[in-house]
Amino acid sequence: MIVTADWVLPITGPPLRDGAVAVKGRVIEAVGPLAEMTARYPERAVSVHADSVLVPGLVNAHTHLCLSALEGLIGPMPFPAWLERVAAASRALDADDFAASAAWGAVTCLMAGVTAVGDIAYGPESLSATGDIGPGGVFFWEVLGITETELARTLDRLEFPRERECGEGRFSCGISPHAPYTSGPALLRATHRLARERGIRHMLHLAESPAEERLMRSGDGPLAEVATRNARGFTSPGAGAVTYAHDLGVLEGTIAVHCVTASETETRLLARHARGVVLCPRSNRYLQCGAPPVAMLRSAGAALAIGSDSVASNEGVDLFAEARALAAMDPGLTPERLLAMMTLEGARVLGIEHHFGSLEPGKQADLVAIATPATGTPAETLVGRARPADVRAVMTAGAWRVLDGQPVGRTARIEAAMRVARAKAERVLSGTFPGRRSG
Ligand SMILES: [Zn+2]
């Protein structure tokens, strides 16, 4: 098949007016002007996307797809109060609920043009449910509240995969010890070591909230009790969370999520040692955490990705809105850089750039056609005004998943299963926090 649109943005090269992508099976075979592609492959059917820009599938580098059933049930509210509620709601859900929730989250991602995720999972459900729907990416098994001696047994119980990659590299696994206030120093070192030994990615929520910063600096505040219960052996380092992770030796090669309260010195530590930083500005706002130091991170030279975080702490998945939020914080971010953060740079931070993030031969045939007014500056127009409702067509691994702005195939059963999980969470929230639930 040949897929063509008014503009094709390969990311690794300049925009192509009347460009086209030749797809063979699950991968991209060639990218170039439409006339050249049809001359080279005259027998191929041509899928035309008028008044649209064609981009690689977007990379949402931080999600919790298993929590998608909780959208709109909690908050906005300050992070510690939100955390308590999301933990209570999660305890009400079983493996089937998480699978239904992840499947619905995967549909939501596709509808927003996202075809690769950096997902925090609690077991095998998220990977299998998501994979069936279309998106690929890295699935991080989350461990917290245990000692380092319990790590191997816990990962066995959670069916942590033995192989690094599956599905021709479309899926890979990683490990995440959640955050410094839920995993003690010995556990952080153990997950970091395991990631190194197995050559997999290590992701850590870091410096997300003022409460975490206070815990780090003075050992008290609203997260102190959470840390006592979960982070065995934690004592306040009297320094920021990024410095703490660096001094423990666990920042090296780690994907750091949020980094809202990072100081200027810490942004330099992140640039030098972390694999990259995933920025989730709309989730940070929802949880009243503040704004990440985007300009300092950019000046320091950090690799930057964009994430929605879970939709339990956001108003849906919309990477364009995330990009505009970042642009408002740092006018030095160009539309081209923001588009790269949503695609190739995000893929590099996750370590999946061999398969995702740009339109190049040999990469996964993950394409998104977005309805956009005709201008001579397609990247600027796209980043400046696109919304998920403008996503007209999405292909993953050579198969159409969204056409005419609608999911291909029925999603009613997925939605119904998600609603069962959502009802359970709602009951627990209204019982545990009576009269305090919003949304
Ligand atoms: Zn998160």
What is the secondary structure of 88-144 as a DSSP string?
A: HHHHT--HHHHHHHHHHHHHHHHHTTEEEEEEEESSTHHHHHHHHHS-EEEEEEE--
Same domain, 208 and 291: yes
Q: What is the pLDDT of residue 14?
A: 95
Are 316 and 367 contained in the same domain? Answer: no
Domain presence at residue 13: yes
- How many whole angstroms from 277 Cα to the centroid of ligand 1? 13
Distance 257 CA to ligand 1 centre (A): 7
Give the residue from 350, 371, 388 where a domain finishes.
350
Distance 57 CA to ligand 1 centre (A): 21
Distance between CA atoms of residues 4 and 34, nearest Å = 7
The answer to whether residues 375 and 237 belong to one domain is: no
* DSSP letters spanning 28-63: EEEEEEHHHHHHHSTTS-EEEEEEEEEEEPEEEEEE
Query: Does 401 share its domain with 389?
Result: yes
Q: Which pLDDT does position 312 carry in this prediction?
A: 96
* Residue 228 belongs to domain spanning: 58-350
Same domain, 167 and 214: yes
CA of 15 to the centre of ligand 1 (A): 33
- How much distance in Å is there from the Cα of 30 to the middle of ligand 1? 36
Distance 122 CA to ligand 1 centre (A): 12
Q: What is the DSSP string of 303-369?
A: -EEE----GGGSSS--HHHHHHHHHHH-TT--HHHHHHHTTHHHHHHHT-TTTSSS--TTSB--EEE
What was the pLDDT predicted at 162?
A: 85
Residues 364 and 397 sit within 8 Å (Cβ to Cβ): yes
- Whole-number Å distance, alpha carbon 308 to ligand 1 midpoint, is 9
Residue 71 C-alpha to ligand 1 middle, in angstroms? 14
C-alpha of residue 206 to centroid of ligand 1, in Å: 10
The answer to whether residues 291 and 316 belong to one domain is yes
C-alpha span between 391 and 389 (Å, rounded): 6
Alpha-carbon distance 437 to 76, whole Å?
10
Compute, in angstroms, the gap from residue 256 CA to the centroid of ligand 1: 10
Rounded-to-integer distance, Cα 99 and Cα 66, Å: 7
Report the separation in Å between the CA atom of 62 and the middle of ligand 1, taken as the mean of its atom positions.
Answer: 6
What's the CA-to-centroid distance between 181 and ligand 1, angstroms?
Answer: 14
Q: Is residue 282 situated within a structural domain?
A: yes
- Does residue 423 sit within a domain? no
Query: Are residues 168 and 135 part of one domain?
Result: yes
Q: So what's the pLDDT on residue 438?
A: 47
* Distance of CA 283 from the midpoint of ligand 1 (Å): 9
How far is residue 132 from each of residues 295, 362, 409, measured CA to CA in Å?
38, 22, 12
| 8 alpha carbon – ligand 1 mean position (Å) | 32
Based on the fold, state whether residues 215 and 308 are members of the same structural domain: yes
Whether 433 is in a domain gets the answer: no
Q: Report the separation in Å between the CA atom of 422 and the middle of ligand 1, taken as the mean of its atom positions.
A: 19
In the reported structure, the alpha carbon of residue 247 is separated from the centroid of ligand 1 by a whole-number distance in angstroms of 23
Residue 10 lies in a domain: yes
Q: Is 18 in the same domain as 104?
A: no
Distance 404 CA to ligand 1 centre (A): 31
User: 205: CA distance to ligand 1 center in Å?
Assistant: 6
Checking phi first, is residue 426 left (phi over 0); if not, alpha (psi -120 to 50) or beta? alpha
Are 146 and 209 within one domain?
yes
Within a domain: residue 412? no
In order along its 439 residues, the chain shows pLDDT tens digits of: 999 999 999 999 999 999 999 999 999 999 999 999 999 999 999 999 999 999 999 999 999 999 999 999 998 999 999 999 999 999 999 999 999 999 999 999 999 999 999 999 988 888 988 888 999 999 999 999 999 999 999 999 999 998 887 777 899 999 999 999 999 999 999 999 999 999 999 999 999 999 999 999 999 999 999 999 999 999 999 999 999 999 999 999 999 999 999 999 999 999 999 999 999 999 999 999 999 999 999 999 999 999 999 999 999 999 999 999 999 999 999 999 999 999 999 999 999 999 999 999 999 999 999 999 988 899 999 999 999 999 999 999 999 999 999 999 889 999 999 999 999 999 999 988 886 544 4
Number of domains forming the structure of the chain: 2
Cα of 286 from ligand 1 centre, angstroms: 13
Give the DSSP letter of residue 237. Answer: -
Three-class secondary structure assignment of 83-94: HHHHHHHHHCCC
CA of 185 to the centre of ligand 1 (A): 19
Residues 69 and 52 occupy one common structural domain: no
Does any domain span residue 410? no
Kindly report the CATH number assigned to the domain that includes residue 177. Answer: 3.20.20.140
Q: What is the Cα–Cα distance from 415 to 417, expressed in whole angstroms?
A: 5
* Ligand 1 centroid distance, CA of 254 (Å): 15
Instruction: Give the integer Cα–Cα distance in Å for 5 and 364.
Output: 18
Query: CA neighbours within 13 Å on the CB side: how many for 194?
Result: 25
Collapsed DSSP state (helix, strand, coil) of residue 154: helix
Compute the distance from residue 46 Cα to the ligand 1 centre, in Å. Answer: 40
C-alpha 373 – ligand 1 centre gap (Å): 34
How far is ligand 1, taken at its centre, from the CA of residue 7, in Å?
A: 34
Spacing, Cα 293 to ligand 1 middle (Å) = 18
* Residue 203 CA to ligand 1 centre (angstroms): 10
250 Cα–ligand 1 center, Å: 18
Sign of CA dihedral 86, 94, 60, 71: negative
Find all residues with CB under 8 Å of 366, minimum gap 6, and list them.
56, 57, 115, 116, 136, 356, 395, 396, 397
Q: Rounded to the nearest whole angstrom, what is the distance from the C-alpha of residue 119 to the centroid of ligand 1?
A: 9
Give bridge partners of residue 162 from the DSSP assignment. none
414 domain residue, yes or no: no
* Residue at 116: amino acid letter: A
252: helix, coil or strand?
Answer: coil
CA 212 to chain centroid: 21
Could you tell me the distance, in angstroms and rounded to a whole number, from the CA of residue 365 to the centre of ligand 1?
Answer: 28
Residue 99 sits in the same domain as residue 209: yes
Question: What is the CATH number for 373?
Answer: 2.30.40.10
Q: What is the C-alpha separation between 135 and 116, in angstroms, rounded?
A: 5
